[in-house]
Amino acid sequence: MLTSITRQIIRKLPAPLTVPASSGFRTVAYRAFATSGFPPPRLFDYETVTSNLTVADAIESVEQAFKALAKGKVDVPMPMHIGIEESSVAGPGDCHIKGGYVAGTPTFTVKLACVSFYKNVEKGLPPGSGIFIVVNAVTGAPLGVFQENRFMTDLRTGAAGAIAMKYCTTPEQDVVGFIGCGAIAKNMARAAANVRPYKGIAFAIDGAEDFASEMSAELGLPFEVASSARELCGKSDVIYTQTPGGSTVLEKDWLNPKGVTIIASGSDQPTKCEIPPDVLAASKYISDLTKQTSKVGELRSAIAAGVMTESDVYAELGEVVNGDKPGREGSEIIVVDLTGTGAQDAAIGEVAWNKLSQI
């Protein structure tokens, strides 16, 4: 028999389909709550996204996200990775799914980023793609889908690089090296120019000359091309590394003895590393999110080599931003390990929605 309380609950539910008798008790089936009351999400194509967002748009919001992250006010799940094995019908490639919610903000973001689909190049397509889904944090309804093909990801990565430079270097450190000269490096260079003017040095297996020429013209800053990573390291006060992460890109004895800040963003999978374990062990090591860098960042390789543990982490970047711990304190080696957090994705997602939804 249905109790009076059960009947009161039923009256408040959507219209019932049936109340059949079965094995001496009654069950009640109801239609699912209708979802058609939500408006469809707005779709923003790649041209709209890239024409209306810049790395400068991302810096302030990403800085606030790091502050919130350090205070435990961001819900950031561990990234999800789908490996696409090469076969006659697929791959090779990788898919990363990240997301996050910053407490007190009206939206949250889920991001799908596909990378390393290198066969696309043979078809005249880019090797990566991606979308951001920005969701109403009140109703849970998607507000906007942004076809960004890693553009927004690169913006928020560049913003994190600028924040690392702002808080982990001194104004006198104005020679900035870039090892790896692709799309992420360009956003790092642009973002760094928002921190202070600098003299740039570029090195890459391919494309360093074009990178230096383009960035010099765009930013109005002097850039030169190094003949080797060793030359670049010896001259640089700040070194950005943003390579595919297949092998280490520098050595400890190459580094400027006056002190250097290395901002590494190339390791985001357990198979990658850019910075040798002995450099990490000798450094003031700062993570973007330790639970993540210990699994997929530079810290992972140092732990695997037996030269560091999580207890050796000096700070997370948000702690330095908040002033809980100082950044540079002398002629030390600082490594800032940027694996990319869902907090950053939430931040750039909200910026994108606030700006593009007005179009």
**pLDDT (tens digit, 9 = 90+) per residue, 261-297?**
999 999 888 888 999 999 999 999 999 999 999 999 9
Average pLDDT over residues 18-47: 67
More confident residue, 96 or 199: 199
Within this chain, do residues 172 and 302 fall inside the same structural domain, yes or no? yes
The per-residue pLDDT for 34 is: 54
CATH of the domain at 117: 3.30.1780.10
Residue 147: name the closest of 129, 121, 126 by CA.
129
Within this chain, do residues 56 and 201 fall inside the same structural domain, yes or no? no
Above 60 in pLDDT, residue 28?
Answer: no
pTM to 2 decimals? 0.87
**pLDDT (tens digit, 9 = 90+) per residue, 102-141?**
999 999 999 999 988 989 999 999 988 999 999 999 999 9
Domain that includes residue 121, residue range: 42-152+345-356
The per-residue pLDDT for 37 is: 86
**pLDDT (tens digit, 9 = 90+) per residue, 197-229?**
999 999 999 999 999 999 999 999 999 999 999
Within this chain, do residues 318 and 169 fall inside the same structural domain, yes or no? yes
Above 90 in pLDDT, residue 91?
Answer: yes
| φ, ψ (nearest 5 deg) of residue 215 | -70, -35
Within this chain, do residues 140 and 272 fall inside the same structural domain, yes or no? no
Within this chain, do residues 64 and 185 fall inside the same structural domain, yes or no? no
**pLDDT (tens digit, 9 = 90+) per residue, 53-80?**
999 999 999 999 999 999 999 999 998 9
Average pLDDT over residues 6-13: 49
Above 70 in pLDDT, residue 194?
Answer: yes
Within this chain, do residues 148 and 186 fall inside the same structural domain, yes or no? no
Within this chain, do residues 185 and 270 fall inside the same structural domain, yes or no? yes
Average pLDDT over residues 328-344: 96
Mean pLDDT of the chain: 91
Average pLDDT over residues 171-176: 97
Above 70 in pLDDT, residue 144?
Answer: yes
The domain total for the chain is 3
**pLDDT (tens digit, 9 = 90+) per residue, 227-256?**
999 999 999 999 999 998 789 999 999 999
Above 50 in pLDDT, residue 146?
Answer: yes
Average pLDDT over residues 21-43: 64
Within this chain, do residues 285 and 335 fall inside the same structural domain, yes or no? yes
Average pLDDT over residues 22-42: 64
Within this chain, do residues 196 and 330 fall inside the same structural domain, yes or no? yes
Within this chain, do residues 91 and 138 fall inside the same structural domain, yes or no? yes
Average pLDDT over residues 139-165: 97
The per-residue pLDDT for 116 is: 85
Within this chain, do residues 17 and 90 fall inside the same structural domain, yes or no? no
The per-residue pLDDT for 295 is: 95
> Residue 316: beta bridge partners?
287
Within this chain, do residues 82 and 180 fall inside the same structural domain, yes or no? no
Average pLDDT over residues 180-184: 94
